[in-house]
């Protein structure tokens, strides 16, 4: 094995805790047939952490202490609580003269979650004798989206090549299993394995040549409670079926998809469904045939419905051929303008997948107004775990803090308390088919994520998808302890670094909601006008006196897509949150912020501060030499130094840009290039 197991790296536990645990783990009764994933995990943990090999039994035992694992139906006694379809119970109790730790839930998947959670709790030092846990996931869909291509490349991937594909073939091996373990341990229950941009070769994934191998992948995933999904090309009936149209209202098209669905389910009976990027960035969709998104999505959904599948339809639809001289079109408005009129028109097994912000995963954007705008539509919140615009896994940028802010945003859709997290978990509008999708940051590198500390982003995504109410500091603490063990200094320094890192990245790149000052195409590194005269609709329109787009009611009207009081708050330059000021307003450089600083001075200050913070991260990391594994230490150290160099580049390019535009010097006289 030439890769780490991240937070599942089971190290030997201290002797004093082992002795008691050995009693518990020496005999495990599993009242389930077909429990190899459970057994493997318990064996793996017991051998590595406790130095014992457990014996498995298929019946209750006569023993002082033991662990009993089984679905609620299989237990020899009743349990009152209802853990739901995916939740579980871990409880230590007396029964039949023994002390048993009961590990139970309704479904196979819930038992997988239960076993991983038990091991996690034990590794974090929870007392097995006092175990009394009832856990249920808040949201039904907890998915990863891979942007992997069949040739093995990964769009926006920064951690090596695909773990699923190579040279147009599908890979199923030990690493696939280990990946399934990692995902199951954080409660992920669905994976879309291929890129939403479905190109020539990938169109074939729904053909028998690939379905045979996909079946093997789905079989493996199933052991870990994960369903397989595929991204499809909306025009497949034309590419594969020889039809002259993909018009969703054409009966031949609908029939083709029905037959295709049947074929797929013959191979994979629990196939999750399709993810569709339609009418977006040159991907075909219903608009090409004069139909709307509901008509397109519902046609596919009806093909999948008899088999229990869903259609996940992305809301990332905008005009990507804008003229920069066009001041009327505002890309930020596009998702809402396209989808709000369709609210209530989608079938029950359609879910609209919405990026967190209205643009495209910038370091900071306001929450997409479709959250709170759509009331009668199933919704998935799309987050980008892969760090396309946030340092590409070269920079340390922990995203959990940003995601938490998004989830805690109150949309006021149904008055106070209408948080995004309550929309995504389905409770606010009483919808069942809601949830989370994260664009994966994983590849075939030794540490899965390129930057070792970027593993924390994957972990935090799963944890927040399971429970968006969980404290982000606690998630970070658990991740550090599971990954690096119980060294206080490691905990202190790494949590400092992680929790600060997103703000830091924002400071030395594009604060105030500015975004986009990146090099076109690959999106790495500063380029203040990289997208200024392009067709992508992402302009800041800086001139000598002001910067930013007026998205208020007096400008493009974007603020009106929010509920009150946000529309008024965002609309007014004096009440708009300053970290989004340039997203909503066109602002003069001499505008005074609440701190009393001018915008331009604050811009300079943040860029200098950001670099100083990276220097501090390096000092914090250096203190951990000999406290974390040597190879991890070296890899992270190297990346931090590259980050520092690139942060300085960001600082100098951005500050110079503004200085040259405005002629306003830095009050503190620091080096800016004239
Ligand atoms: C997969 C952005 C990215 C694209 C990505 C697209 C999307 O535009 O740069 O690489 O395509 O978003 O989310 O569909």
For 103, the token pair is 């590990």
CA of 555 to the centre of ligand 1 (A): 27
Q: What is the pLDDT of residue 575?
A: 98
- Helix H or strand E segment including 563: none
According to DSSP, the residues that pair with 66 across neighbouring strands are 100
Q: Does residue 196 line the site of ligand 1, with CB under 6 A? A: yes
Q: Which of 86, 178, 360, 613 is catalytic?
A: 360
Q: Which pLDDT belongs to residue 606?
A: 98
Q: Count CB atoms within 10 A of the CB of residue 488.
A: 8
| Domains with residue ranges and CATH for the chain | 6-135 (3.30.379.10), 141-484 (3.20.20.80), 486-549+586-674 (3.90.1330.10)
Among the atoms of ligand 1, which is closest to the Cα of residue 195? 1
Distance CA 330, CA 550 (A): 10
- Assess whether 506 carries a catalytic annotation: no
Express the helix, strand and coil content of the chain in percent, nearest 5 each.
40, 15, 45
pLDDT averaged per 10 residues in sequence order, the chain, 674 residues: 94 92 96 95 98 97 96 96 97 97 98 98 96 98 98 98 98 98 98 97 97 98 98 98 98 98 98 98 97 98 98 96 96 98 98 98 98 98 98 98 98 98 98 97 98 98 98 98 97 98 98 98 98 97 97 98 98 98 98 98 98 98 98 98 98 98 98 96
Q: Is the pTM of this model over 0.85?
A: yes
CB hemisphere CA count around 220 (13 angstroms): 18
- Residue 155 annotated in active site: no
Token match 């057994």: residue? 39
Q: Of 146, 149, 155, 320, which is best to mutate to test ligand 1, by the most ligand atoms within 8 angstroms of its C-beta? A: 155
CA of 610 to the centre of ligand 1 (A): 27
Most ligand 1 atoms within 8 A of CB, residue of 149, 154, 156 to mutate: 156
Task: Provide φ and ψ at 310, rounded to 5°.
Answer: -125, 160
pLDDT tens digits for range 388-423: 999 999 999 999 999 999 999 999 999 999 999 999
Residue in 231, 312, 356, 360 to alter for ligand 1 test, most ligand atoms within 8 A of Cβ: 360
- Rounded CA-CA distance 508/615 in Å is 12
Round the CA-based radius of gyration of the chain to a whole number and report it. Answer: 26
CA of 468 to the centre of ligand 1 (A): 25
In residues, how long is the chain?
674
Please indicate whether residue 355, judged by its CB atom, sits closer than 6 Å to ligand 1. no
Q: State the distance from the centre of ligand 1 to the C-alpha of 280, rounded, in angstroms.
A: 9
Q: Please give the Cα distance from 438 to 468 (Å, whole number).
A: 14
Which residue is it, tokens 């839930």?
Answer: 105
Angle between helices 108-123 and 472-484 (to 10 degrees): 80
Angstrom distance (rounded) from CA 593 to CA 520: 31
Grouping H, G, I as helix, E, B as strand and the rest as coil, residue 629 is: coil
C-alpha of residue 228 to centroid of ligand 1, in Å = 21
Q: List the catalytic residue out of 129, 281, 612, 622.
A: 281
Protein residue with least CA distance to atom 12, ligand 1: 360
Measure the CA–CA gap between 584 and 569, rounded to whole angstroms. Answer: 10
What's the DSSP call for residue 50? I
């Amino acid at each position: 094995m030439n890769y780490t197991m991240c937070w599942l790296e089971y190290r030997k536990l201290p002797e004093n805790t082992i002795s008691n645990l050995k009693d518990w783990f020496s005999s495990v009764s599993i009242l389930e047939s077909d429990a190899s994933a459970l057994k493997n995990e318990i064996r793996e943990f017991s051998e590595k952490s406790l130095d014992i090999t457990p014996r498995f039994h298929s019946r209750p035992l006569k023993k002082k202490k033991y662990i009993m694992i089984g679905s609620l139906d299989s237990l020899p006694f009743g349990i009152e609580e209802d853990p739901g379809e995916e939740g579980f119970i871990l409880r230590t109790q007396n029964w039949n003269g023994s002390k048993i730790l009961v590990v139970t839930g309704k479904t196979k998947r819930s038992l997988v979650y239960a076993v991983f959670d038990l091991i996690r709790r034990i590794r974090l030092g929870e007392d097995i004798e006092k175990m009394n846990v009832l856990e249920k996931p808040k949201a039904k869909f907890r998915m990863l989206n891979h942007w992997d291509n069949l040739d093995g490349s990964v769009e926006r991937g920064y951690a090596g090549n695909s773990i699923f594909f190579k040279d147009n073939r599908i890979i199923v091996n030990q690493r696939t299993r280990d990946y399934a373990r990692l995902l199951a341990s954080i409660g992920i229950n669905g994976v879309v394995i291929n890129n939403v941009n479905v190109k020539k070769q990938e169109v074939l994934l729904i053909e028998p040549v690939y379905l045979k191998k996909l079946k093997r992948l789905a079989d493996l995933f199933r052991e870990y409670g994960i369903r397989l999904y595929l991204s499809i090309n909306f025009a497949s009936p034309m590419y594969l079926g020889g039809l002259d149209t993909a018009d969703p209202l054409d009966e031949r098209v609908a029939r083709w998809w029905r037959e295709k669905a049947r074929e797929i389910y013959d191979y994979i009976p629990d196939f999750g469904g399709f993810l569709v990027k339609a009418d977006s960035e040159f991907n075909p969709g219903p608009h090409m045939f004069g139909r709307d998104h509901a008509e397109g999505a519902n046609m596919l959904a009806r093909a999948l419905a008899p088999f229990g599948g869903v259609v996940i339809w992305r809301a990332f639809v905008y005009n990507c051929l804008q003229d920069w001289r066009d001041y009327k079109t505002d890309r930020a408005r596009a998702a809402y303008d396209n989808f709000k009129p369709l609210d209530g028109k989608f079938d029950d097994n359609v879910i609209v997948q919405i990026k967190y912000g209205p643009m495209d995963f910038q370091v900071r954007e306001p929450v997409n107004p479709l959250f709170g705008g759509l009331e009668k539509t199933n919704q998935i919140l799309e987050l980008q775990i892969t760090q396309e615009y946030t340092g590409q896994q070269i920079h340390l940028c922990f995203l959990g803090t940003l995601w938490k802010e998004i989830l805690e945003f109150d949309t006021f859709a149904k008055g106070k308390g209408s948080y995004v997290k309550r929309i995504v978990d389905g409770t606010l509008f009483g919808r069942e088919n809601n949830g989370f999708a994260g664009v994966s940051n994983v590849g075939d590198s030794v540490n899965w994520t390129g930057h070792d500390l970027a593993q924390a982003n994957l972990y935090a995504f799963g944890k927040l998808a399971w429970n968006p109410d969980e404290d982000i500091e606690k998630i970070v603490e658990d991740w550090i302890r599971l990954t690096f063990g119980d060294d206080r200094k490691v905990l202190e320094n790494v949590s400092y670094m992680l929790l600060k890192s997103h703000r830091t990245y924002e400071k030395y790149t594009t604060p105030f909601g500015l975004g986009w000052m990146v090099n076109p195409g690959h999106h790495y590194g500063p380029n203040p006008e990289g997208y200024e005269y392009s067709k992508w609709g992402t302009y800041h329109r800086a001139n000598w006196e002001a910067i930013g787009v007026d998205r208020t009611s007096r400008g493009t009207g974007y603020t009106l897509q929010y509920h009150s009081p946000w529309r008024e708050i965002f609309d007014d330059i004096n009440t708009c949150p300053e970290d989004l000021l340039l997203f909503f307003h066109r602002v003069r450089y001499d505008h005074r912020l609440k701190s009393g600083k001018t915008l331009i001075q604050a811009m300079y200050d943040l860029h200098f501060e950001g670099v100083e913070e990276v220097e501090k991260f390096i000092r914090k990391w250096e203190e951990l030499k000999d406290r974390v594994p040597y190879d991890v230490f070296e890899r992270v150290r190297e990346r931090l130094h590259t980050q520092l160099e690139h942060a300085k580049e960001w600082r100098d390019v951005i500050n110079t840009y503004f200085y040259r535009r405005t002629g306003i010097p830095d009050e503190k006289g620091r080096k800016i290039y004239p």
